Chain A
C-alpha cells in the first residue's frame, strides 16, 4: 500500500535488555525474523514476551541493545516510528470502536486520508477490499464492528494493520478469544499470508505453534532459552523448555468414585440476553466424586446454563436442585451458601473485582462468615493470613497480596479465583473455560486441582471448548447443542470424532 516503505527482508534484535523496578523483564535477547517466516514466541505468563514486543512496536525503549532492519540499525521512539517502518502489532484485546463500521475503524488510523474537514472513506473502503482480496480475509467493510463475531473482529484487526502498511505482523495471543473452529480458520489464513510477510506469533497453545510456525523461540524469566526449528521438536519438548521442567497434564485415573446426585437441572428453560430461549428443556445431573464435562461449540447455551445454575440468570421453567433442595431462582447468595462454587467465564470482571487487592478478592464470597468478620467488623489480620496461606498453596504469583487483583496476569487471576472457590470446599463446582488463555504450567496446576476436588468427593461441571481438556479430566461427557443435552457419553467411549459430530448436532445411533 505505502510504496515508500522499504520491504522488510530481515529483522534482527541483538542484546535487548529492559529493566523495570525490581525485575529484569528482558535480559540480553537476540532474535531474528526473515520475510516469509513465522516465528513463534512462547513462554509462561510474565516471561517477558509482551515487554519484548512492546519494545519492537515502539511502545517501550530498551535500556540497551539494537534493533536492525535489513541490516540497518533503527530506533523507534514511538509506535508511529515502528509503523512507518512496516512493523504492525495486533493486540490481544481488540482496539476497535464497536459502534463504527469496519471502514470507519480503518480510516480512523489512516492519517493520510484525513484532509481538511473531509475524510476519504471511499479510499479506505477500496483499500480494505484490496487487502481483503489479496490476503483472503473476507470482511464486509460496511458492517458495524459490534455486529461481527470475535473471529471476524480479529480479521478486521489484521486488515487494519495491513492497511497501515505492516509487513511484519506481531500477533499477541491472537487465538485466546476464538472458538476452536475460528482458531483453525485463522491459522490457515495466517499460513497463506506468511508467504509475503513476516509474522511473530505469540501463543500459549503449543499445537498452534506446531501448526503455524517455522521457527520457535522460548522465553523464560526474560531470556531466550531456546531458539530452533519448530518441526524438530514435539509439543511436549517445547512445554518442558517453556516451564523448565517436564509438564504432564494430569488425567482422570478413571476409578469410579460414584456418588449421589448433588446438582441437577430438570427441564430447564432459560432466556439469553437477546430474549431467545438459550436453554430449552435441558436435563443434566452431576454426581459427587465426578467430573462431568460439558462439550459444545460456544454459544449453544453454556453461559446461560452456568448462570442459571448459580442463580445469576432467571429460570423460566424447570428446576435446579442442589443437595436435594429445590433452589430454582434463588439468589446467588443462597446458592453460594448451599455449597455451590463457580469459576466464571469472564475472569477479569466477574471472577474478581479488579481494583480490590488480592487478599480482598480471596474473601469476596466469605466476607460475612465468622472467619473473616466479627459482627460487621472485618478481621483484617485473618483476611491477610488467609491470603498468605492461599498464595503459597495455589502458587499465586504477585508482588504482594495487597496488589490490585486486576494488575495480575490472566493465569494468576485464574489462580486467585480457583483458590477462593476451592478453599470453600464446594459440594458442586461449575467451572467455565477454566484454562482459557493460561500457560501450560498454570493449566497443569488447575487440572490437578480440579481432579483433587473430585477425589475429595466434590462434583465438578467442567464447561470447556478444549476437547482434550474435557477428555482428559471427565468421567462423563455431556454434549450441549442448541440449549439441550444431545447425549451423555462415558469418557472411555468418547473419541474426538464422535464428540465432534455430536457438537455439530449429529446424534449417533
Chain B
C-alpha cells in the first residue's frame, strides 16, 4: 500500500514533468528553436554566475511580498485580484514621499517613511474594495480588477504629467519616469556588484510575521475563522465585516510595500511597466504556495528562476520572449494539475483499481469465516 503510494506520487510527478516538457518542446520546435537547449538554459543558466543567481532572488522579493498579502486576503475570505493596482499606488506613494519630503533626511528616517508610505498607498487603495464589499456587498473581484485599470491610468498620468522628471522635459526625450530618488531612500545592496537588495531580508522577516499573525494571534484566528466560515464566525461574535476590511487593507499594504521595495531597491525611480505583472504572478505564487508563508517563499523563488531563465533564453537561445511566456504557462499548469492529482484520494483509488486488474471475485483478505 505504501509502495503503491510512493509509486503513484513519483508517477504523477514524472508524467507532469513529461507533459510540460513535451508540450513546451512542440511549441519551441514550431518556432524553430531547440527544445533541449532552451530547457538547459532556463534551468541552469541562472546558476552559472553570481549575478544570475541573485537575479532569481531579486525577482522573488516582490513576488513573496505580494503573495503574502494575497494569502492574508484569501485566508480571510476576500479575494484580492487587485495587487497590480495596489502595487502601483504603493510605488506612487513611496516615490512621492522620497522626492517631496524636505531634502537631507537621514537614511534611517527617510527609508522607513518611504516604505510605510508605499504600504499605506496600497492599503488605502485596497480598502476601497474592502469597504465596498463590507458595506454594500459589491463583489471584490469585480471592484479590485476595475481599480487596477484606474490605478494603471492614474500612474501613467502622473508619470507623464505632474511627476515627470523635469530633466526629461528639458532634453525633450519625454520618457515617462519620475526623478531619481535620493540615495538616502535606497535599500542597501546585499551582494556588491549585483542588484540583490535588503528587500529580501524584509520579505523573509515579513513571511515569518505573516505566519505568526495568522496562526499565533487572536487577530489571525478571527480573520481565518471569518474567511473559512462566515456564518460560524458571526455566531461566535466575530465581526465579519470588519475582518473583511482589515484583511483587504492588509493585503493591499503588502502589495504596496512590494512596489515601494521594488522602486527603492531596484529601479530607484518610478518608471513605466515597473510592476512587470508581479501583481498577477503573486496570486499564482500564493496559490501555488498553498496560501502559507512556508510554501510561498519557495514558490516565489521557483517563479523567480523561471523569470530569469526566460530572460536568458531570449538572449542566448534566440527564442522569442512570448514563447517563454507560453512555456511558463505550460509548466505552471502541469505543476498545478499534478498537485490536484496528488491530493485527490478518488483519483488515487481509480489508478489503484486500474492496476489491481480486478483481482477476480475471491476474497483477498482473511475476512474470518467465524
Question: Hey, which bits of chain A sit against chain B, CB under 8 A?
Answer: 15-17, 19, 27-28, 61, 63-66, 73, 75, 77, 310, 312, 331-333, 335-337, 342, 344, 346, 349-356, 360, 364-365, 367-368, 373, 376-378, 380
B212 to chain A, nearest CB (A): 9
* Contact present for A367 and B232 (CB under 8 Å): no
A349 to chain B, nearest CB (A): 5
Across-interface contacts of A376 in B (CB, < 8 A): 217-219
| B228 close to chain A: CB less than 8 A | yes
Interface locus among B52-60, B82-90, B299-307, B359-367: B359-367
* Contact present for A28 and B367 (CB under 8 Å): yes
* Contact present for A61 and B353 (CB under 8 Å): yes
| B235 close to chain A: CB less than 8 A | yes
Across-interface contacts of B218 in A (CB, < 8 A): 367-368, 373, 376-378
* Contact present for A75 and B232 (CB under 8 Å): no
* Contact present for A75 and B361 (CB under 8 Å): yes
Cα–Cα distance between A378 and B221 once the two chains are bound (Å): 9
A410 to chain B, nearest CB (A): 15
Across-interface contacts of A19 in B (CB, < 8 A): 365
Across-interface contacts of B363 in A (CB, < 8 A): 15, 17, 63-66
Across-interface contacts of B221 in A (CB, < 8 A): 360, 367, 378
Across-interface contacts of A353 in B (CB, < 8 A): 225, 228-229, 232-233
| B194 close to chain A: CB less than 8 A | no
Question: Hey, which bits of chain B sit against chain A, CB under 8 A?
Answer: 215-219, 221-222, 224-225, 228-229, 231-239, 353, 358, 361, 363-370
B237 to chain A, nearest CB (A): 3
* Contact present for B239 and A377 (CB under 8 Å): no
Q: A63-B363, A360-B221, A365-B236 are in contact. List 16 more A-B contacts (CB 8 A).
A: A15-B363, A16-B367, A27-B368, A28-B367, A65-B363, A73-B361, A77-B358, A312-B234, A331-B237, A336-B236, A350-B231, A355-B229, A364-B225, A364-B236, A378-B215, A378-B217
Cα–Cα distance between A162 and B361 once the two chains are bound (Å): 29
Please give me the 10 A-B residue pairs with the lowest Cβ-Cβ distance, nearest first.
A64-B363, A333-B237, A17-B367, A353-B229, A364-B236, A64-B367, A332-B237, A15-B367, A376-B217, A355-B228
A181 to chain B, nearest CB (A): 28
Across-interface contacts of A342 in B (CB, < 8 A): 235
* Contact present for B367 and A332 (CB under 8 Å): no
Cα–Cα distance between A373 and B215 once the two chains are bound (Å): 12
B190 to chain A, nearest CB (A): 31
Cα–Cα distance between A131 and B231 once the two chains are bound (Å): 39
Q: A28-B370, A376-B218 are in contact. Are A356 and B365 (CB under 8 A)?
A: no
* Contact present for A378 and B216 (CB under 8 Å): yes
**A-B contact list, 7 entries, CB within 8 Å:** A27-B368, A332-B234, A333-B238, A333-B239, A346-B231, A352-B232, A356-B224
A182 to chain B, nearest CB (A): 25
Cα–Cα distance between A312 and B240 once the two chains are bound (Å): 12
Q: A352-B232, A377-B216 are in contact. Are A17 and B365 (CB under 8 A)?
A: yes
Across-interface contacts of A65 in B (CB, < 8 A): 363, 367
Across-interface contacts of B368 in A (CB, < 8 A): 17, 27-28
* Contact present for A354 and B236 (CB under 8 Å): no
